[in-house]
Structure 1
Amino acid sequence: MKKWMGSLLAATLVLTACTEQQETAPQETAPQESQQQAETEEVAFPLTVTDAVGNEVTLEEAPDAIISMIPSNTEILFALGFEEEVVGVTDYDNYPEAAATKEKIGAFEFNIEKMTALQPDLILAHESSWSTAEAGLQPLQDAGVPIFVVGNAMSFDETYETIEAIGEVTGASEQATTIVEDMQAQVDAIATKLEDVEQQKTVFIESSGDPEIYTAGQGTLMQELLDRINAENVVADQEGWLMMNSEEIVSRNPDVILLTYNYIENAVDAVKTRPGFDQITAVQQDAVIQVNEDITTRPGPRLALALEELAKAVYPEVMND
């Protein structure tokens, strides 16, 4: 399949002009390869890797026109240094700021015609939407475009694996390792601080408001985050994502309520004024807190920041000491 040349990474380095001290004019400088390109070229292509659904994916050359089908993949690609190579993202991609300027390919339904027009040489799909996206992407697969399905990470370890997998398929394994090591160091530092927690707090994670209040139990990334900060999930006896009514939340009486959504104006006040919620410790102690929706729900490079934000929300007396 034809290889479409994308722009080199931002700020291509230029060699300084060499000027002889005698009456010779300065010689022209030749552009030096970007660090990302040079490191990528150290990886042996063609490259064959296995994705999250067991498909073998072969790339003949390092990708230079990449489409990302979920925001977390996009954040990983940018962290790896592929800002220029990313040509298409979903409607919800908003980080980093440069991601918002990329061509939009849709969200729950993807615009296959636009994706084709972008002439990608790598598509990063996602396991969570693969069952519905696979059929639509068949024309691109038939045309020879490599499609790599990234796993649906539900923990820090799986997030690390995701970053390393994307690093491998793009030829940026060394950069991926550095990102993972930096995240692990941040997580370890937070864990060290929380060793001083004497009384474990109970927490209710609310991912959507009335009338359909959803929360997260075992087997979710939210559960992993709470476990990591030594907090007890009040719905840890439940599995996956579930809807819960207000009466049940009152009966479970969490010490802290964390809101991971921002689509409701004055969401914190709305929670506090629900009937019966004045009986909840979290409301009485003014511990209903809205946290950053994006970093707490995207298994990517900012997940360590999400852990820190949750730790500060639940244990401010420890984290702000």
Structure 2
Amino acid sequence: MKKFWKIGLSAFLAVGLLAACGQEAKDNKPSNEQQTQQETAQVDEATFPMTISDALGKDITLEAPPEKIVSLIPSNTEILFGLGLNDEIVGVTDNDDYPPEAAEKDKVGGMEYDIEKIIALKPDIVFSHESSMSLSEEAIAQLESAGLKVFVVKNAQDFNETYTTIEQLGRATGKLPEAEKIVANMKAKVEEVLSKVKDVEPKKVLVEASDEPDIYTAGNGTFMNAMLEMINAENVAVDGDNWYKIDAEQIIAKNPEVIVVTYHYVPDILTKIPKRAGFDTINAVKNNAIVQVDESTTSRQGPRLAEGLEELAKAIYPEVFK
């Protein structure tokens, strides 16, 4: 019988908002220029054998670039494919939908990890993620007890930390030049977006990550809030921390000028939101400024995140991008 490590149904929303996207903030870990320089310095060399330290401070020694890789979160998968590791990737999760080639890989679980399958794939390294540690700690322990190397990727809180993550994975897989190219392209796109919105009049924005009755929004400390700040948007939910549940009455009182919807599981959600009781008084509803963005590009800490920033900016300031 196969052994599964299960994530309970009650944790599904947390997995969707945090693990799949890697967005939950970590207290007492502010990013700054010095920290970013230190982290970047850790990925300057890409020679084997090497010892790398993961987000938990655990040292992992690699004798050579890994020939078999398993990824346990979509953001890692996107980075690994972006590095050109198509052949080396042997296993991904059920949630991995980009690039299309990910669908061809063996699936190792979604709300539950197939521990025996992961072990059977004989990966040289398994890439997990810090944001899902509360849910995957037991699974990682089982994999490590079976002799597998599990590298826990840092839960990046901003673009600089995302760049460092990409470079770190490039270093660990012998693809540092490819990683540096990805980062350079991302930086160019970010600079292009920021130059277009630098003189805009800030708009009040609410981000919805789920539908009523349990509406979740991005508060202070989330990557989404950092992105809103980058493009000079005012997050009306910044008085709360992390991703938190917000009442319809609170949304009405905050009166956002734009409502950004990051989910697609509710059909016709853009026509349903204006019909909520009392929402006809909200400026976003009055001005038909309820927009839907791609939940993957605007949340996954990988190569497409710069495109996600542009999509978010276009959604909030369409007049600037005409």
TM-score range, shorter chain: 0.7 to 0.9
Q: Normalization by structure 2: what TM-score? A: 0.84
1:55 aligns with 58
Alpha-carbon contact 2:119-2:148 (below 8 Å) kept: no
Q: Distance in 2 between matches of 1:45 and 1:154?
A: 29
| Residue 119 of structure 1, CA deviation | 1.1
Residue by residue over 1:15-36, the C-alpha shift from the partner in whole angstroms, topping out at 9 and shown as x without a partner, is: xxxxxxxxxxxxxxxxxxxxxx
Residue by residue over 1:145-199, the C-alpha shift from the partner in whole angstroms, topping out at 9 and shown as x without a partner, is: 22111011121112111111111111211211111111011101111111231x2
Matched AA of 1:134: E
1:72 aligns with 75
Q: Secondary structure at the match of 1:94?
A: coil
1:233 aligns with 235
Instruction: Mark the runs of 5 or more structure 2 residues left unpaired by the alignment.
Output: 1-44
2:252 aligns with 250
Structure having greater relative contact order (Cα 8 Å, sep ≥ 6)? 2
Q: Secondary structure at the match of 1:295?
A: coil
Q: Secondary structure at the match of 2:112?
A: coil
Equivalenced residue count is 278
Residue by residue over 1:74-119, the C-alpha shift from the partner in whole angstroms, topping out at 9 and shown as x without a partner, is: 0000000001111100110000000111111112321101101111
Matched AA of 1:156: F
1:16 aligns with none
| Residue 309 of structure 1, CA deviation | 0.5
Q: Distance in 2 between matches of 1:136 and 1:183?
A: 33
Matched AA of 2:277: P
2:191 aligns with 188
1:37 aligns with none
| Residue 45 of structure 1, CA deviation | 1.8
Alpha-carbon contact 1:220-1:241 (below 8 Å) kept: yes
Alpha-carbon contact 2:119-2:146 (below 8 Å) kept: no
Which protein is bigger by CA-based radius of gyration? Answer: 1
Q: Distance in 2 between matches of 1:127 and 1:77?
A: 17
Matched AA of 1:138: A
**Alignment of 1:176 onto 2:183:** no
Of 152, 157, 161, the match for 1:158: 161
Of 109, 113, 116, the match for 2:116: 113
Q: Distance in 2 between matches of 1:133 and 1:191?
A: 36
| Residue 312 of structure 1, CA deviation | 0.6
Q: Is the alpha carbon distance of 1:43 and 1:299 closer, same or farther for their aligned partners in structure 2, counting shifts above 3 Å?
A: closer
Q: Secondary structure at the match of 1:128?
A: helix
Q: Secondary structure at the match of 1:294?
A: coil
**Alignment of 1:282 onto 2:270:** no
Identity across the alignment (%)? 50
Q: Distance in 2 between matches of 1:213 and 1:261?
A: 11
1:213 aligns with 215
Of 205, 219, 222, the match for 2:224: 222
Q: Secondary structure at the match of 1:184?
A: helix
Instruction: Mark the runs of 5 or more structure 1 residues left unpaired by the alignment.
Output: 1-41
